[in-house]
Amino acid sequence: VMSNSIILLFLLLPAALPSTQDSEQEACTSGLTFEETMRVGVSFSRSKNHEAALPCLQHATQLRPKNAGARVYLGESMLRLKRWEEAILHLERACELDPTKIVSFLLLGAAAVGGGERDKGKRAFQSALKL
Q: Report pLDDT digits (tens) over 106-130.
A: 999 999 999 999 999 999 999 999 9
Q: Report pLDDT digits (tens) over 9-19.
A: 344 444 433 44
Which of 120, 124, 113 is CA-nearest to residue 79? 113
Examine the pLDDT at 66 and tell me if it is beyond 60. Answer: yes
Q: Which domain holds residue 102?
A: 20-130
Domain assignment present for 66: yes
Domains of the chain: total = 1
Yes or no: say if 56 and 25 are a contact pair by the CB < 8 Å rule.
yes
Domain assignment present for 34: yes
Residue 28 banded pLDDT, cuts 50, 70, 90: confident
CA of 69: how far to CAs of 7, 26, 37, 113, in Å? 47, 21, 13, 22
Task: Please give the distance of CA 70 from its chain centroid, rounded to a whole number.
Answer: 9
Which of 89, 84, 98, 21 is CA-nearest to residue 55? 21
Q: What is the mean pLDDT of the chain?
A: 86
Domain assignment present for 3: no
Domain assignment present for 15: no
Domain assignment present for 5: no
Q: Report pLDDT digits (tens) over 36-57.
A: 999 999 999 999 999 999 999 9
Domain assignment present for 37: yes
Specify the DSSP class assigned to residue 81. T
- pTM value surpassing 0.75: yes
Q: How many helices (H) and strands (E) does the chain have?
A: 8, 0
Domain assignment present for 11: no
CATH assignment at residue 27: 1.25.40.10
Domain assignment present for 14: no
